[in-house]
Amino acid sequence: MTWMPVEEYERRILAKLLREAGVDPEPIVNRFLERRDRYSARLIERLAGADPSAAARMAQKLARSPNPLDKVLAAWLAARAEEREPPPSLYA
């Protein structure tokens, strides 16, 4: 089995579907990837700046998604939330 980056997989699948529909795939695929990249950058920026309680809620919501990439984001957010929590006090 050959592994490829997600972007390349998306590019190939979208191009194939568009060719099968009789459409020139190149401009549409390029526009899709540009928009996806901008969206992804904004999403990561928003998630990275979220306060711990909002991050925990977002992680729970993303974890329920059937999309594997949403599940990865959920795990990333959950790990970040754990890093931000102060260690338990010995005197509490």
pLDDT in tens, the chain (92 residues): 688 888 899 999 999 999 999 999 999 999 999 999 999 889 888 888 888 788 888 888 999 999 888 888 888 888 876 766 555 555 55
Please report, for residues 2, 68, 87, 88, the alpha-carbon distance to residue 91 in angstroms, rounded to integers and kept in the order given: 54, 41, 12, 9
Residue 47: predicted pLDDT: 83
Residue 83: predicted pLDDT: 66
Region of residue 22 (phi > 0: left; psi between -120 and 50: alpha; otherwise: beta): left
Please tell me the pTM assigned to this model.
0.67
Neighbours of 73 (CB within 10 A): 20
Residue 31: predicted pLDDT: 96
Residue 69: predicted pLDDT: 84
Extract the tokens encoding 27: 């401009």
Residue 88: predicted pLDDT: 58
Question: Which residue intervals of the chain are DSSP H helices?
Answer: 6-20, 25-48, 52-63, 68-84
Residue 66: predicted pLDDT: 92
What distance in Å separates the CA atoms of residue 83 and residue 21, rounded to the nearest whole number?
A: 48
Residue 91: predicted pLDDT: 58
For residue 7, which of 34, 43, 47, 45 has the smallest C-alpha distance? 34
